[in-house]
Structure 1
C-alpha cells in the first residue's frame, strides 16, 4: 500500500502518522477482544457504543438495529444529551442509515440537515435538532452478507470524515457485529433453555400437582355432600391457594370472603374488579394486575348461559395454570351449590304458595291438616291476621311473589301467587305499618313503582280479606295511585267498588241514579253519560265542557236538555247533583277495574 501523498516528503510526519495508526490498531484489537468476553445482549450494545466513542473520538456515537418490520431502532448511545433522541425509530429506507443498509457500505455527510443526497424522515429530523447533530458517519454491522444494523459516529460541527476514520470505524464494526451476533445467539439459546426447562417439569413436580389438585377436588366434593356453602369454599381455596378469595353473586354483591391478609381481601372487594367483569363476559376465567402489584384471577360461575356469580382469587404472585384450574373447578362446584339452593328455594316457594292458596280459597274453619302443614313450616295459622296484596305495572306477579316469600319468615307468614296476584299472609299488629314496610322493601328490590294493600283478617276469612285487598289494589291504579303502601281504609268512600259483599248495593245505587241515562245511550248510541261526567268535571262551566267534548255549544245545550227530560228538572239541585256525581265516578271506576 502506498503512503498518503502528504506524508511522502516529511519523515517526522510519517513517523507520527505511523505511531497514531499503531495506537488506533492496538486500541481496535484490544476493544475487539473485550467484546468477545461479553454475553448479555444489552451489555454488548452498551460496550460497542462506548468503545466506538473512545476509538473514533466524535462528539457522540449510537447504534441502531434493523427490525423485522423494516424499521431501524436506536438501541444504545454514548455522548448524547437529548433524552428523546434515544427513542428514535426510522424507516430503513431513509437517512444515512438507509443508504448504509441498502449498499452494505459506509456513508457519511458533513451536514445532515442540509444534505439532499439522502431521503429524510421528518420524525428523525425533529430529534436531530435538539441533539445538535451535524456531521454523521454510518458503517454497516455485517453478519456474512446480511446487514443487521448500523453504527454511527456524529459531530455537532460541520466537517468531512477522513478515509482513515471511515476505515477505522468500519474495522471496529466488523468485530462488533460478530460480538453482537454472538450475544443474540446467546440470548436465543438461554431463552430456549428456559422454555425447555419450563416444558419438562420433573415427574415429582407433576405428581405433586396432580395430588394437590385431587385433594382440592375431594375437599370441594365433601363441601357439597355436607351441605356447605360459599364460606366453606372460600376458606378451602385460601388454604390451598393462599391470598384472598371473594365470592360474588349474579348482581356483583359480595356474599363471602376469606383471607389470611386483611389488606389483600380489602383490595379484592373493591367495586367491579376488571377480572370479574372479563370472566363474566367470557363465561370462563380472566387474570389482571393492578397498580399495587396484586394479581386478580376470576372464574365465572355459570349454569348454561346463565351467569350465577364469580370467584375471585387475589394474591401477590401470579397464579400458575394449576391454580387457575382449581379456581375453575371451585366455580363449577359453586354453581352446583347455587342450583341446589335455587331448587330448594323453588320447592319451598311452591309448598308455601300451595298452602297459601288453600287458605285463601277455603271457607272457615281451618282444617287440622292445614294447621299441621303450616306448623311443620314454623307458621302458626292462628296468628295470621293480615293479608297483603302487591301489584306492579312493570313486574310480574311471580317475581313479586318470590320477593314476598323471602320476607315472609320475618312475619311468620306464607307468601306466593294466587289468582294472578302476589300475596302474603302475615302475623302483624299494625297492618298499615306492615303495608308501608313491605312497599318500601319491594320498591327498593324491584327498582320500580309498586302498589301494596294490607287488609286485616276477621274470623279466619282470609279469602274475603284477599278479595278486598286485591280490589283496592286495582282501584288505586284507576285513581292514579301507582306507588304506595296502604290499607283499604283511606279508600273507604270507594268501598262499594271493592267490597264484594256490597256488590248488590252498588248495582242498586247505580241503577237508581244512572240507569235511565245508561239505557238511553245504549239504545240510541248517544253520549249523555259522558256529557254529564264532563259537565260535572268542569264545575258546570258550559264553555269548558263543550271544549272538552269537542262539540258545538248548541249540541251541548241539546244534550243537557235531553238529560233534563230523562232525569227531571231537579237534576241540578245540590243533593241530586251530588248523587249523580258520585254515581258517575263509581260507574267510571268500576268500568276501568272490570
Structure 2
C-alpha cells in the first residue's frame, strides 16, 4: 500500500528539519567563545524554523530576562528588550520549564504584560511569539524565542523542532560559559602569578637596599654613601639635610632637578614620616624625616620626574631610619669624645701653670697645641642647657684648634685666634642659627697661666649681660669687664661698705615703711633730674614725686644733689640694681 502525497511530503520535510537540526547542533559544539555561540544560536534557529525573527534572552540573578542576541529584527530599540520576572511568554517558560506560545502577543490576556516591553513590541511589529526553555539540568538559564509579524498559531512540529534545537543550544551555551569562566580563571591565575613575581622582585630589591644601607652603618659610612645608594635604586636626585636644615650630602643621576617646594621637608618633619609635592615643572619631591623619638635629626629628599611608588616611599623612609641610626652612632662617638675633651678642658682650667707633659700629650693626640691656646669662650642660653651648648662648641672646636666642654655648669671653649671679638661673633651667629633662640657668647684673651681667671671673668660677664640689656650677643669681656670686676667675690666686702654708706638709709626706710625711695631716686637720675618725665615714668602725680624727694633729702641731707654726692650716689644705685638682678 503506497503512502499518500501529503504524508510523503511531511516525511521529507521532517527529514530535512532533522538533518538541519543535527548539522546545526554539530556546528554549535565546535564553537568556544560565548558571544559567538549566542550569535550562532539565533542565526541557526532563524534558518531552522523560518519565522520572521528570533532572539535569545538570558536569565539574570534577579530573574529578569534580558535580550543578548537576535536575528531578523528591524527596530533598533528592540535590542534593549528585557522582561521582569514572572511576566510575558518568557515568564511562563521559566515558571513551567516548558515551551509556551501566543498567536497575538498584545491581545492575549493569558500572560501578564510588562508596559515597557509592550512598548518595544509595537515598532518591531511582533504578533505571534513562541518561547522554548534553555535547560541545563533542571535549571532554565534562558529562553529562545521565534516570532512572526502576523497572527498565527504554532504547530506542534514547530514547537518540538525549536525545543530540540534549544536543548542542543543550551549545552553549547553552557559549554561556552564554562570555557569563558576557565579562560577568566586562567587570566586571573596568570595575573596573580605575575603579581607574585613582581612582589618577589620588589621584596628582593627592598631587601638588597636595606642590606646595603645597613652595611653603610656597620662599615662607618656617611651621608654621601646613603645618598649614592638611594640614587642607584630610586634614580633622580637625593639630598641629605642635617637637623639645622643645612645640606650635608647630595647625589644626582643625570641633570639636576630644580629646588623642591619650600614646605615639603617641613611637612615631613611635622608628620614624622614622609611628604610628597610637585613643582611647577611637574617633578616629584618626596621628603622623609630623620628622627630619634621626638628629636629631629635631619631629612632625606628624593626629587625626580616620575611619581614615586609606595615601595619607593617605603625605601626612602627606611633610608631615613638607617640615617637616624648612623647619626645616633656618630653622636655616641662624639659624646664620648666630648667627655674626654671636656675632662681635659676642666684640667687645663683648674691646673696651675705650667701645663704638664701628660696633658700636653693628650691634647696633641687630638690635634691641639696647648701652648697656642690663647682665648677662653663662654656661652650661655636661657632656653638651652649648658650640655647642649657644649656639644655644639665641641663640633666647632676643630676649626680653632681648640678644646670644648662643660665646666662648673658652663659651656666653654679654649681656642686659638688672633681676633677674640670676631671669634665671639662667629660662634654667636652659628649657635643662634642652630638654636633658633637668643644666646650670649663672651670671649676673653688669656695665656696658659691665667685660663681659670679668664673663665671666671667671661662667665661673670655672661651673667651680667642680661642685666645690662644684652640678651643675644657675641662679644669680648671688654664692654662688661668693669662691672664684672666690681662684682668679683674678693671685692664683695668693699662693695658692701660702699653701697651701705651710700644707700643704707634709703634701703632701711623703704623696708620699714614699704616705700619706694630707692626706685624713685634711680628714676630721677635716669631722667637727668627732670621732674615731669620722672613722674610719668613712675606713674605717679608730680606732688607725690616732690614729697618723695623731700623724704630723700631728710634722709641723705640737703647736699645729695651736689656733684660730689650725686655721682657716687648714681653709681651706688646702678650697682645695687645690678646686684639685685644677679641675686
Shorter-chain-normalised TM-score: which range? 0.5 to 0.7
| Distance in 1 separating the partners of 2:325 and 2:394 | 23
1:378 to 360, 363, 367: 367
| Distance in 2 separating the partners of 1:327 and 1:552 | 69
Structure 2 counterparts to residues 264-275 of structure 1, below 5 A: 266=257, 270-271=260-261
C-alpha contact 2:380 2:441 (8 A) present in aligned 1 = yes
Q: Larger deviation: 463-472 or 237-246?
A: 237-246
TM-score for both structures, normalised by structure 1: 0.61
| Distance in 1 separating the partners of 2:443 and 2:575 | 22
When residues 433 and 587 of structure 1 are mapped into structure 2, their CA distance, relative to the original with a 3 A threshold, is same
2:325 to 336, 357, 372: 336
Task: Establish whether residue 258 from structure 1 lines up as the match of residue 199 from structure 2.
Answer: no
| Distance in 2 separating the partners of 1:307 and 1:210 | 29
| 1:583 match | 572
| 1:394 match | 383
| 2:43 match | none
| 1:473 match | 462
Structure 2 counterparts to residues 100-499 of structure 1, below 5 A: 139-140=80-81, 163-165=122-124, 192-201=188-197, 219-239=212-232, 244-250=237-243, 253-259=246-252, 261-263=253-255, 266=257, 270-271=260-261, 281=271, 283=273, 301=290, 303-304=292-293, 306=295, 308-309=297-298, 330-458=319-447, 460-499=449-488
TM-score for both structures, normalised by structure 2: 0.62
C-alpha contact 1:246 1:254 (8 A) present in aligned 2 = yes
- TM-superposed deviation, 1:527: 3.7
| Distance in 2 separating the partners of 1:553 and 1:329 | 72
| Distance in 2 separating the partners of 1:529 and 1:502 | 23
- TM-superposed deviation, 1:510: 2.3
When residues 452 and 38 of structure 1 are mapped into structure 2, their CA distance, relative to the original with a 3 A threshold, is farther
Q: Larger deviation: 287-296 or 482-491?
A: 287-296
Secondary structure of 1:422's partner?
A: strand
- Flag the structure with larger Rg: 2
C-alpha contact 1:535 1:545 (8 A) present in aligned 2 = yes
1:533 to 516, 522, 533: 522
C-alpha contact 1:389 1:452 (8 A) present in aligned 2 = yes
C-alpha contact 1:467 1:500 (8 A) present in aligned 2 = no
Secondary structure of 1:270's partner?
A: coil
- TM-superposed deviation, 1:539: 2.7
- TM-superposed deviation, 1:513: 2.5
| Distance in 1 separating the partners of 2:472 and 2:443 | 14
- TM-superposed deviation, 1:568: 2.9
C-alpha contact 1:295 1:317 (8 A) present in aligned 2 = yes
C-alpha contact 1:497 1:506 (8 A) present in aligned 2 = yes
Secondary structure of 2:251's partner?
A: strand
| Distance in 2 separating the partners of 1:395 and 1:355 | 23
When residues 275 and 199 of structure 1 are mapped into structure 2, their CA distance, relative to the original with a 3 A threshold, is farther
For residues 549-574 of structure 1, give each alpha carbon's deviation from its aligned partner in whole angstroms, at most 9, with x where no partner exists: 45666654454344334433321112
C-alpha contact 1:244 1:314 (8 A) present in aligned 2 = yes
Q: Larger deviation: 476-485 or 359-368?
A: 359-368
Secondary structure of 1:224's partner?
A: helix
- TM-superposed deviation, 1:520: 4.4
- TM-superposed deviation, 1:452: 2.0
For residues 100-128 of structure 1, give each alpha carbon's deviation from its aligned partner in whole angstroms, at most 9, with x where no partner exists: x999899xxxxxxxxxxxxxxxxxxxxxx
| Distance in 2 separating the partners of 1:543 and 1:211 | 84
Structure 1 unaligned segments of length 5 or more: list them: 1-32, 45-67, 69-100, 107-135, 147-159, 169-173
Secondary structure of 1:231's partner?
A: helix
Secondary structure of 1:266's partner?
A: coil
- TM-superposed deviation, 1:383: 1.8
How many residues are matched?
452
Secondary structure of 1:578's partner?
A: helix
- TM-superposed deviation, 1:247: 3.8
C-alpha contact 1:496 1:506 (8 A) present in aligned 2 = no
RMSD (Å) for aligned C-alpha atoms: 5.1
| Distance in 2 separating the partners of 1:142 and 1:257 | 69
